[in-house]
Structure 1
Amino acid sequence: MSTTTAATSVPVLPATADLTAAAARIAPYVVRTPLLRGPVTAAHGPRLLLKAEHRQLGGSFKTRGAANAVLALDADRVVTGSSGNHGIALARIARTLGLRLTVVLAAGAAPAKAAAIRALGAETVRVAGGVAEREEHAAALAATTGAVLVPSSDHPLVVAGQGTVGTEILTDAPDTGTLYVPVGGGGLLAGVCLAAAGRPVRVVGVEPALTPRYARSLAAGHPVQLPPSSTVADGLRGQRPGHVTYPIVRDRVDDLIAVGEAEIIAAADLLRRHGVDAEPSGAVALAGALRAGRREHAVAVVSGGNTPARLRALHRPPTAPPTTTAPPTTTAHPEEHTP
């Protein structure tokens, strides 16, 4: 599966079948994260579940797309641009497989995540500007060095890997009414849209109000680029929808919700009191579910848990593909949902 056609440069989009292939390919490198019972709120009662990607190896869902791309592309040198979690995911896999990795970071990238990437053996390069400048530099670096470029979201293999989050949710909770998905570059949202194709489930993307790039783009009828953002959800600072992700989201997403900084922080605090130690980006989907207030069976994706404590633990990575499930990131956690 290539990214574009040679004659037209039209992106080749992943299909539902690619999610099945991705699930088989990445199985030795990821864990099948559980659905947890969510916090009981006036809006949702006991019917809200949480997809626990904060308990994924590498601390976020990014491990899925990173593993799928690296394994399928069979590269020995990789370049990427990342806000942190994608770089961490790639660095873990690169260390396991003996690959050389360079991660390009924007000026506002979290220092703790940059340190974790370096501790895992990857090289980091920091550039001025925002996500757009980061991606331009990563593409240029890959072209000049001959490395394989593995974007954090805008690649069909990455999208297919992220989509396994959606297939797992719909297998474990087939009566789900709405899936709430955090939106940065859009790889996770696009993947979940593919997983939900032909299924009677609403897919709702949740964006920080400071950077509603998908909402603005859908309203305009084409991808638009926003200025760099300083949202507390540092993993969701993407400025523009991707060529691969945009048409998938456009054709399947049911709604987009914007949540403010206070709502994101409040959702992260609520999760922490509930025993789920999520980073702000990982709490955005719950913030969207709370804002929507629909009384239905719903699932919010807790996309990441790379808090300072988790990042310190990532400095001690495994040296071989995992064979057991990931330990919980907190000493106490909510009861798991049994379908």
Structure 2
Amino acid sequence: MPEPCACHPTPKVEGIRALGGRVVTYRRDSENRDALVAEIAARDGLAVVPSANSRHIMAGAGTAALELLTDHPEIETLVVPVGSGGLAAATAKRLHPGIKAIGVEPQEGADTLLSLRCGQRIALPDVPATIPNGLGHSSP
């Protein structure tokens, strides 16, 4: 397996390992992440926890907005990173009337913006590495 590189931020990898987790890397340009995850889960008897396409994950992510708005009810606008879409979707569901949510994503990887404009989910053929690596998705 390849070792962490710019697309695998060292602090995140080290943090996962420090907590006893196992990090499995893959080659984004030639391997299918979802197929690899399914294979590992089947082989090792593990459950797959999707990064966003799960109502449970979105509900958990929504607690971030809920806690923030509980502590700071005066907030009028939230700027939310849009990676796979789970945090943004959950945040939008937790907003009080009148609060504006602005989703942001890298210009070079604006899969969500393009999908909204086209009215269907769009997959980008190539997404360059970004500093906020959690925003480097090819499809919402």
TM-score after normalising by structure 2: 0.83
Change in CA separation of 1:152 and 1:119 when aligned onto 2, cut-off 3 Å: same
| Cα distance in structure 1, aligned partners of 2:88 and 2:108 | 18
Q: Does 1:136 align with 2:136?
A: no
Partner of 1:180, secondary structure, is strand
Would you say the 8 A contact 2:84–2:139 is kept in 1? yes
1:57 equivalent in structure 2? none
Measured at CA, do residues 174 and 116 of structure 1 come closer, stay the same or move farther in structure 2, by a change above 3 Å? Answer: closer
Who is 2:68 aligned against?
169
Q: Counterpart of 2:24? A: 125
Aligned match of 1:220 in 96, 118, 132? 118
Q: Secondary structure at the match of 1:149?
A: coil
4+ long deviations beyond 4 Å: none
Given the alignment of the two structures, is residue 208 of structure 1 paired with residue 106 of structure 2, yes or no? yes
Q: CA deviation at 1:207?
A: 0.6
3-state SS of paired residue (2:23): strand
- Alignment partner, residue 155 of structure 1: 54
Aligned to 2:94: 195
Distance change in 2, residues 1:106/1:164 (3 Å): farther
Which structure 2 residues correspond to residues 12-31 of structure 1 after superposition, within 5 A?
A: none
Measured after TM superposition, the shift of residue 107 of structure 1 is 8.5
- Residues in 2 aligned to 1:229 and 1:181: alpha-carbon distance in whole angstroms: 20
Note closer, same or farther for the CA distance 1:118–1:157 as it changes in structure 2 (3 Å cut): same
- Kindly report which structure 2 residues correspond to 1:231-310, keeping only aligned pairs within 5 A, or say none: 231-241=130-140
Shift of 1:134: 2.2
Cα RMSD of the aligned pairs, angstroms, is: 2.3
Three-state SS of the structure 2 residue aligned to 1:228 is: coil
Rounded to whole Å, the distance in 2 between the matches of 1:107 and 1:141 is 24
* Structure 1 portions without partners, runs of 5+: 1-104, 242-339
Code of the residue aligned with 1:119 in structure 2: it is A
Hey, what's the Cα distance between the residues in 1 that align with 2:34 and 2:49? Answer: 10
CA shift digits 1:178-211 (9 cap, x unpaired) = 1111111111111101102x62211110111121
The AA in structure 1 aligned to 2:101 is V
Would you say the 8 A contact 1:228–1:239 is kept in 2?
A: yes
Q: 1:124 to 1:167 in 2, by over 3 A?
A: same
- Report Cα offsets for 1:198-226 as digits up to 9, x if no partner: 62211110111121111011011111111
Q: How much has 1:111 moved relative to structure 2?
A: 3.2
User: Aligned residue for 1:186?
Assistant: 85
Q: Name the structure, 1 or 2, with higher relative contact order (CA <8 Å, separation 6+).
A: 1
User: Which residue does the alignment assign to 1:230?
Assistant: 129
- Where 1:229 maps in the other structure, the secondary structure is coil
- Residue 167 of structure 1 and its aligned partner are, at CA, apart by 1.2
Secondary structure at the counterpart of residue 225 of structure 1: coil
CA distance in 1, matches of 2:39, 2:54: 16
* Unaligned ranges ≥5, structure 2: none
Alpha-carbon distance in structure 1 between the residues aligned to 2:133 and 2:41:
24
How many angstroms apart in 1 are the aligned matches of 2:5 and 2:47? Answer: 20
Q: Is the 8 A contact 1:106 1:126 kept in 2?
A: no
Greater per-residue strand proportion: 1
Residue 67 of structure 2 aligns with an amino acid whose one-letter code is: E
Contact 1:107–1:128, Cα closer than 8 Å, also in 2: no
The percentage of counterpart residues that share the same residue type is 35
